[in-house]
Amino acid sequence: MPRRLFVPLVLALSVTIVLAAGAVFVLSRRTAPAGAPLRVSGIPAAVTSHEADLMALSPVPSHPAPAFSLVDQRGRTVSLAAFRGRPVVLNFMDPHCVDICPLVAQELRFAEADLTGVAKDTVFLAVNVNPYAHAVSDVASFSRTHLLDSITTWHFLTGPLATLRAVWRAYGVEVHAPSPTADVIHTSVTYFIDPAGHERYVASPIVNHRATGAAFLAADTLRAWGRGIAALATSMARG
Q: Looking at residue 150, which CATH number applies to its domain?
A: 3.40.30.10
Task: Flag whether 189 is in a domain.
Answer: yes
How many independent structural domains does the chain possess? 1
Q: What is the pLDDT of residue 37?
A: 58
Average pLDDT estimate for 20-27? 36
CA atoms within 13 A on the CB side of 205: 30
Average pLDDT, the chain: 87
Strand, helix or coil for residue 161: helix
pTM for this entry: 0.86
Burial annotation 129-153 (CB, 10 A radius, 16+ → b, else e): bbeebbebebbbbbbeebebeebeb
Confidence of residue 94 (pLDDT cuts 50, 70, 90): very high
Q: What is the pLDDT of residue 9?
A: 28
Tell me the C-alpha distance between 91 and 97, whole Å: 14
Domain with 132, as residue range(s), is: 46-238
Whether the per-residue pLDDT at 32 is higher than 80: the answer is no
Task: Flag whether 134 is in a domain.
Answer: yes
Task: Flag whether 36 is in a domain.
Answer: no
Task: Flag whether 8 is in a domain.
Answer: no
How many other C-beta atoms lie within 10 A of the C-beta of residue 169? 16
Q: Minimum mean pLDDT among 22-31, 58-67, 208-217, 229-238: which range?
A: 22-31
Task: Flag whether 19 is in a domain.
Answer: no
Q: 87 with 231: CB under 8 angstroms?
A: no
Which residues are CB-neighbours of 224 under 8 A, at least 6 positions away? 50, 51, 54
